[in-house]
Structure 1
C-alpha cells in the first residue's frame, strides 16, 4: 500500500496514506519488541508491560470496552460495574504479560519452558499421538499458548497451526518466523497454496497434532453456539477436522499461576454416532464452547478476548 504525498489525494488516497503509516508504526513496534524487549532484564520488561497495560486500561479504548462487555457476560452481569472494571484491569495485565513473554520466549531455555509448566490431562493426548492417531488441540485466547506449543515441541511432539494473515506483510512474516523458530509448522489463514483445511487434514492423517485457537470466528460462517447463556459464533474447523479425519478433538484451557504457566488438556469430545456431518460438527462445537465456559469462568482474568464473539455484538 503506497502513501500519497500530494494535496490532490482523494479520500481513498488519504485513507491509504493513513493506513500505510499505521502499518509502519505497528511493524516497527513489533520489531522493537523482538529486538529490545527480549534482551531487557525480565524484571524491567515486566514492569514496563504492567505499566503499559494499566495505561491502556485507563484510556478505555475500543478493545478495553469490548473486553469489559465480554467479561460482564462471563460474570453473568447485564452491565459493566466496579467488579468487571477490576477484572478487566487484571485481564489487560495478563494480556500484556502474554506479549512480553512472546517477545522474550526465544530467550527462554528449554529447562524453563518445561519446568515452569503446570499441565494436567496431557497423558491422554500423548497416548493418542503414540497410537498413530492425529489430534486437534482446540484452545481459546487464554494464558500463553505460544509457550504451550513450545512445551509440546520440547516434549517431542511437533505441531501445525494456523495464523491470521496480518498487515503489513512484513509483520505477518515476523510472526511466522517467530513461531517457526519455536518449532511450529505455520499455515496462513488465507493466501496459502491449496486449502488450509486439506493440509491440516493431511497432517492429522499422518498422526500429527494440529493446534487451533477456536473461540472466535474469523469467517462470518461460524457455528452458532450457546456461550455463557447467549448465542455466539465459533469456527467449525476443529470439529470438522475431527469428523473428516477421525482425529481426536481435545479442548485445552490455559492460565497463569504466578510465574508458572497452567494448562489443562480436557477429555476428548467424541464424534456423535447419529446425525449428518453438519449436525455432528454443530454438536461438537457446542461441547467445545461448554468446556471453554468452565475454563474461562475459572480464570476469567486470563481470557484475552478484546474482540466481538457474541452474535448481538456482531
Structure 2
C-alpha cells in the first residue's frame, strides 16, 4: 500500500523531528477554535506576548472549570447538556459536518434520528470538557464507582511483558477518565499534547493534566524521542489515531481505508510499536447514562511484526488498527468527537490547515 507518511527509514535518526512527524497528539492541550478566541491557524511552540484576547480566553476556561468543580455532578452534567443545544445551533458548519460523518457510519440515518444523533454528539463533547475540568477534584472512589472495563487483561499482559504499551484511541467519549483510572491503579499514563499559541492557556491545561497524574509530553521536535524513551521504560503511552495532523499545510499520516473512503491517519501508534516492541492496543471509553458513568473496551493487541520495509509495515499495521478503530466507533458513533473534515470528499478538507478537533 502506498504511503504518504514521513515515517520512512529515516525516522529513527537522531534529532527527533522525524519521530515527531509520526505523532498524533491528544486533545488536552488543544482547544476547539469555535469555542475559544484562540486562532485555529496558530500552532506555536514559541513564546509570544499575551494579548487581551488571550487573557479573555484563559479567564473563560478558568471560569468554566471553576463552575464544573464547584457544582454537584448531576447539576453540572445538566448544565453541560443545556449548553450543547445552543452550541449546536450556533455552530451550523460543524453540525452539518457531524451529520455527514454520522451518515458515513450509518447511511440509513436521516430525519429526526439524524438530528437526534447529531445533538447527542454535541452533548457528548460538552460532557467531555465538563469531565476534563472536574477530573482532578474527584476521589478514587468517585472515579471507580461508575467505571467498567472490558479486556483489561490485555493491558496487564502488555505491562508484564516489559516492552511498553501504546494505547491507540479514537476521539470518542471520555478517554481521560480511563486514564485517571489507570493512574489510580498505579500504572500511570503518558500523553502527547499539542502546544498552543496561547502560552498561558497551554500552561493552565498542562497543570490541570499534571494534577490528574498524567505525564505530559508537549508536541515539539523532541516529542518523538521522549515517547520512544517512555515506551522503552515500559510506560503506557496514549496516542489518538483516527484523525491526521496537518502541520505546515501538509498531512503526515499514512493512507488507509476508513469508513469506506481512503484518507490519512497518524502513523505514530504503528511506528512506535514497531520500533520499540511495545504492545499496540486499541481502546475506547464510552459515556454511560449514569452521571460520571463510563465503560471502557480494551481490544486485543494488534499483531506487530516486521515483514517488509518500515514504511510498508507501518502502512499495513495502521490499516489493521484503523479497522479496529472503526469497530469501536460503531459502538457509539454519536460519541465520536469529530467536527471537522476528515476525508478528501468532505467540504473544506483540502483547505484545512489546522489540527483542531473542532
Higher CA-based Rg: 1
Give distance in 2, aligned partners of 1:26 and 1:234: 30
Which of 285, 290, 294 in structure 2 is aligned with 1:261? 294
Q: Report whether the alignment pairs 1:72 with 2:114.
A: no
Describe the SS at the equivalent of 1:36: helix
Q: 1:241: Cα distance to partner?
A: 0.2
Bigger relative CO (Cα 8 Å, ≥ 6 apart)? 2
5 Å-filtered alignment, 1:45-124, equals 45-76=76-107, 81-124=111-154
Q: 1:22: Cα distance to partner?
A: 4.5
Name stretches of at least 5 consecutive residues in structure 2 with no aligned partner.
1-49, 350-358
Q: Report whether the alignment pairs 1:211 with 2:242.
A: no
Give distance in 2, aligned partners of 1:104 and 1:246: 35
Q: 1:80: Cα distance to partner?
A: 6.4
Does structure 1 retain, via aligned residues, the 8 Å contact 2:84–2:122? yes
Describe the SS at the equivalent of 1:204: helix
Which of 62, 65, 70 in structure 2 is aligned with 1:34? 65
Give distance in 1, aligned partners of 2:241 and 2:135: 23
Counterpart for residue 342 of structure 2:
309
The number of residue pairs the alignment matches comes to 292
Which of 200, 208, 219 in structure 2 is aligned with 1:170? 200
Superposition RMSD in Å: 1.8
Give distance in 2, aligned partners of 1:227 and 1:147: 26
Q: Report whether the alignment pairs 1:281 with 2:314.
A: yes
- Indicate how the Cα distance of structure 1 residues 308 and 24 shifts in structure 2: closer, same or farther if over 3 A, else same: farther
Q: 1:36: Cα distance to partner?
A: 2.5
Give distance in 2, aligned partners of 1:80 and 1:207: 46
What TM-score do you get using the length of structure 1 for normalisation?
A: 0.88
Does structure 1 retain, via aligned residues, the 8 Å contact 2:274–2:305? no
Describe the SS at the equivalent of 2:168: strand
Name stretches of at least 5 consecutive residues in structure 1 with no aligned partner.
1-18
Counterpart for residue 270 of structure 1:
303
Which one has the bigger helix percentage?
1
Counterpart for residue 261 of structure 2:
230
Q: 1:247: Cα distance to partner?
A: 0.6
